[in-house]
Structure 1
Amino acid sequence: MITAEQAQAQLDAWLAASLAVARNQSYEIEGRKLTRADAAEIRRQINFWEGKLAAARNGGRRMRIGYGVAE
């Protein structure tokens, strides 16, 4: 089972990748070089690790997190 600490570390790494790509840079994580073209993969990984973190913090139950845009 993945611990909350492990999930948080992975989530932090993917959030850093997202920030770097948003600044129009490439980013390397676990030997893979990611560029702006990989933004969709970065988003999928962020969603995945958010779910793992939520599950670890909630005794293994996965919570669905939704985001909206305020107008």
Structure 2
Amino acid sequence: MAAINAQEMVDIYLQAEADLLQGGKDVQLGGRRVTMAELPQIRAGRLEWERRASAVARGGRSGHSLASFGE
């Protein structure tokens, strides 16, 4: 099985979230059945993978810059 990258994981979480919100009582996520009650965990997982995908897009940089004052 090929490794899944961060953006693919974001897409998987988005699809699971959309499926639940469109009336599905449960969906498969990574070989595991999840229910509407687990929507907060799905959203938290999506946010984590979005952060990872963003870090990859920035080349691993934090996105914060450092300022030097007075020198």
For normalisation by structure 2, the TM-score amounts to 0.75
Letter in 2 for 1:22: L
Q: By how many angstroms is 1:21 displaced? A: 0.6
Gaps of 5+ in 1: 64-71
Structure with more of its chain in helix, by fraction:
1
Alpha-carbon deviations, 1:2-31, whole Å to 9, x = none?
xxx711110000000000010121110111
Identity %: 29
- What is the number of equivalent residue pairs in this alignment? 59
TM-score by length of 1: 0.75
Residue in structure 2 matched with residue 44 of structure 1 by the alignment? 44
Aligned-CA RMSD value? 1.4
Query: Are residues 53 and 36 of structure 1, via their aligned partners in 2, closer, same or farther at CA, if it must alter by over 3 Å?
Result: same
Unaligned runs of 5+ in 2: 64-71
Deviation at 1:61, TM superposition (A): 2.4
